[in-house]
Copies of this chain bind each other. A is one copy, B any other.
Amino acid sequence: MTDIVFTEEQDELRRTVRAFLEQKSPEAEVRRLMETVEGYDPAVWGQMAEQLGLQGLAIPEAYGGSGYSFVELGIVLEEMGRSLLCAPFLSSVVLAANTLLCSGDEAAMGEWLPGIADGSVIGSLAYLEDSGGADEAGIATGASPVGDGWAITGTKSYVIDGHIADLVLVAARTAAGVSLFAVRGDAPGLVRTRMQTLDLTRAQARLELDGVPATLVGTDGQGWALLTEVFDLAVTGLAAEQAGGSQCVLDMAVAYASERVQFGRIIGSFQAIKHKCADMLMEVELAKTAAYNAMWTAAEAPGELSEAAAIARSFCSEAYVSVASENIQIHGGMGFTYEHPAHLYLRRATSSELLFGVPSAWRERLADLVGM
């Protein structure tokens, strides 16, 4: 694997994305969008695709993307995590696109990836159900063959951006086992309800499916193996986002600790605050290492991703929750107001920790992988 060091070109990408997000997704805009029904700004989404090509950045050129690697995608996610961008990027570009890519299903990829790459299609992945069980046994939704296609009946929960998705990739059980299906957002028999979310900046939906027409993606019965691959990529992308958010709250905490005065002193001069910031720094730097290592592995040694992903997933999740909590503590009463952005990061951090398998489950997976 090459050195974990960003190239000049990658740094330039980061600067471009950051400048774009500072302009298009300042805190006021985040707060505006998080109260809309859609949860994102279609105009900005379009600009992301047309001006920066972000949606297609890591999609192969054959499917209308630019063919960059997961490293570049990670940089974009890190910046989006920093700005809490409200947009279906994780769902469409990380979850849906990588599910299609991992499936190796030429027809599905040809049908959907170009639209995801140019932003015209919003994809999402529906695997969890009401039980919340993030394992194969948690999938009770069933699919039966009907004519040339399939019909799905059941309920999916916690579907990120499921309420606006044009394409929902649904995990359902057939006679052969768990399989994946493409379901159109406007399919008959599909009822979508936006859920209330702890994370105000990332929408989730509950989908009720009653004989909804669907197309098989990949091989019948191989859905869980496919999802396992997707999860490694998903948590790698999420880790980049978590690292970006972590760095942001550290910056926020240090800035406040450097200007706030109590007892006639800058509070950052008190060891209680200073040492807390030092601990946050350690967590943030290690989280970045974990995320970058997973990004590099995904790009250059995808066969070895599982270990790097498990490390990144478990460490970045806990680090982000920890630093987002400490940021509130350092801000004192101010950090506890709705008006201050600190809680938006804690909400994102906590939701991210709960939504893709808790850290201990990933450590257990790591223990298996390493042979403990």
Q: Which residues of A contact B (CB under 8 A)?
A: 270-272, 275
Dominant secondary structure of chain A at its interface with chain B: helix
Q: List 5 A-B contacts (CB under 8 A).
A: A270-B271, A271-B271, A271-B272, A271-B275, A272-B275
CA distance A271 to B263 in the complex (A): 14
* Shortest CB distance A262–B (Å): 13
Top 5 closest pairs, chain A to chain B, by CB: A271-B271, A271-B272, A270-B271, A272-B275, A271-B275
Q: How far is the CA of A271 from the CA of B272 in the complex (A)?
A: 6
Tell me the minimal C-beta distance from A282 to chain B in angstroms.
16
* Chain B residues near A271 (CB-CB < 8 A): 270-272, 275
**Chain B's nearest CB lies how many Å from the CB of A143?**
38
Give the interface centre of A270, A271, A275 by most chain B CB atoms within 10 Å: A271
Tell me which residues across on chain B come within 8 A of A270, comparing CB atoms.
271
Q: What is the chain B residue whose CB lies nearest that of A275? A: B272
A275 vs B272: C-alpha distance in the bound complex, in angstroms?
Answer: 8
Per the bound structure, the CA–CA distance linking A272 and B275 in Å amounts to: 8
- Interfacial chain B residues near A275, Cβ < 8 Å: 271-272
Cα separation A271 to B274 with both chains bound (whole Å): 10
Specify the chain B residue showing the minimal Cβ separation from A273: B271
User: In the docked arrangement, what's the CA distance between A270 and B272, Å?
Assistant: 9
State in angstroms the CA–CA spacing of A270 and B270 once bound together. 9
* A31 → B minimal CB distance (Å): 35
- A270's closest neighbor in chain B, by CB? B271
